[in-house]
Amino acid sequence: EDRKVTGKEKPLLFPDWAYKPAWSPGSRQVQLWHFLLELLGRGEGSAIGWGGEWGEFVIRDPERLAKLWGERKGKPHMNYDKLSRALRYYYNKRILHKTKGKRFTYKFNFSKLILVNYPGYPPPGLQVIITSLQLMSKPPVLLLFHFI
């Protein structure tokens, strides 16, 4: 019942994964896709950056990204081989897919959705019109903005 939309709006159809809380009380671990969005939101100078298409991103420095992820998770031996296995598990969950033929390039499966309570969101240069709702709950849930 935490995740129910408050008010009288008719239910909006967002993918389940979009409702996952970014941070939970206590010790719940960061998820990889949260971490990726966090870095992407920071923009320049990162090991990862937005690609040409909507939701697409390019890993500019795979081993550096892996190292950062390993630091966050307390896994000093993390590398791109292992990180990319975790990314591949996202294919079946419909969180990500691979941009075929483009090296180190993946794409988030949000279509007209962006998740905005990460630093730097939305990415600069994007025109957004907020049509959607804020999901209020404790712990804080991702804010969902609807692009048109």
Chain residues that interact with DNA, rule: CB under 7 A: 20, 29, 31-33, 62, 69-70, 73, 75, 77-78, 80-86, 88-89, 91, 93, 98, 100, 102-105
Cα–Cα dist 37/19, whole Å: 15
Output the smallest distance, CB 73 to DNA, in A. Answer: 4
Least distance in Å: CB of 131 to DNA?
A: 28
Backbone φ and ψ for 105, nearest 5 degrees, come out as: -115, 125
- Please say which residue, 104 or 147, places its beta carbon nearer to DNA: 104
For residue 101, the minimal CB distance to DNA (Å) is 9
Half-sphere exposure of residue 144: CA atoms within 13 angstroms, side-chain side: 24
